[in-house]
Amino acid sequence: MKRWILFAGGLVAASGIALGAFVWNAGGWDNFKLRHFHLTQLLSDQTRELADIRARNVAPEQASRIDLGELISGGPPKDGIPSIDSPRFTSAAETPFADDEAVLGVEVNGDVRAYPYGILNWHEVVNDTVGGVPVTITYCPLCDTGLVFQRGGTTFGVSGKLYQSCLVMYDRADDTLYVQPWGIGAVGPAVNRILERLPVVKTTLGAWKARHPDTRVLSTETGHRRDYFKYPYGSYYTDRNLVFPVRGDEQLALHPKAIISYAFRPAEATPHNAFAGCH
């Protein structure tokens, strides 16, 4: 019996050492998790994944403008990445974030606010009211896209799904899925609905404060325990690893993480598995 215990203990120890070496070679725990999140796709069942939409007597296969096979699991479940629904703010003088912190800057009706990337990396969606206008601040860490939408009387959450490696949010009023960079309903009751956008600026906190010294800054008191001064995606922001599949990546002329700017104006056309517009 003792031999079996020792043998089992040896296997556990060996497995631990092997796993430790594997994680080390991957570049640390954050990189290890990120690089293997795509394996959760093997456990994905679209019938179960889209159960909320089916429960509304809507067939996703008909109420969709994308190939459902390209709607994949990002790892966390629905709301596994929690949106911030009751945001708190501090003054520019009181915020713990340094001047070189990247932020999304928003101004609506004279109300000026900054949303640090250190918080957005962990939550991706902030439901707020700025200048009297209900808005949703969104950020996708995998594609570095930051957009602000008018949300009306609803709120948005993180679906846990990705399309072309991009954040897919969902409307809590009807469970419609929206692909964040385009702000268009992709699957669900409100398929093809275009969300109205508001201007947003990606800048540094220091530059934003210099222009708007009275800005309020999103507080780290979010109601969740996260390290908002630690980047949770390892070396993803700078390495060539895309982790999740995207179309046409073999045609890239630039580094896949190169920062570019583009303008997109949604069109009324509704091509399947694509988004019409000019850019």
Measured between its terminal Cα atoms, the distance across the chain in Å is 70
Sign of the Cα pseudo-torsion (108, 113, 118, 120, in order): negative
Tokens found for residue 259: 């920062």
pLDDT (mean) for 150-162:
97
Banded model confidence at residue 21, pLDDT cuts 50, 70, 90: very low
How many CA within 13 A on the CB side of residue 40?
18
Give the pLDDT score at 249: 79
> What whole-number distance in Å separates Cα of residue 233 and Cα of residue 55?
34
Each residue's pLDDT tens digit, 55-92: 999 999 999 999 999 999 988 999 999 999 999 999 99
Each residue's pLDDT tens digit, 207-266: 999 999 999 999 999 999 999 999 999 898 888 888 888 888 778 888 988 888 777 777
Does the pLDDT at position 269 exceed 80? yes
Give the pLDDT score at 247: 87
Does the pLDDT at position 192 exceed 90? yes
Indicate the residue type of 236.
Answer: Y
pLDDT (mean) for 116-136:
98
Residue whose C-alpha is closest to residue 53's, from 184, 163, 190, 155 = 190
> What whole-number distance in Å separates Cα of residue 26 and Cα of residue 264?
36
**Pick from 22-26, 45-49, 99-103, 238-242: least confident:** 22-26
Output phi, psi for 107, to 5 deg.
Answer: -135, 120
Banded model confidence at residue 274, pLDDT cuts 50, 70, 90: confident
Does the pLDDT at position 15 exceed 70? no
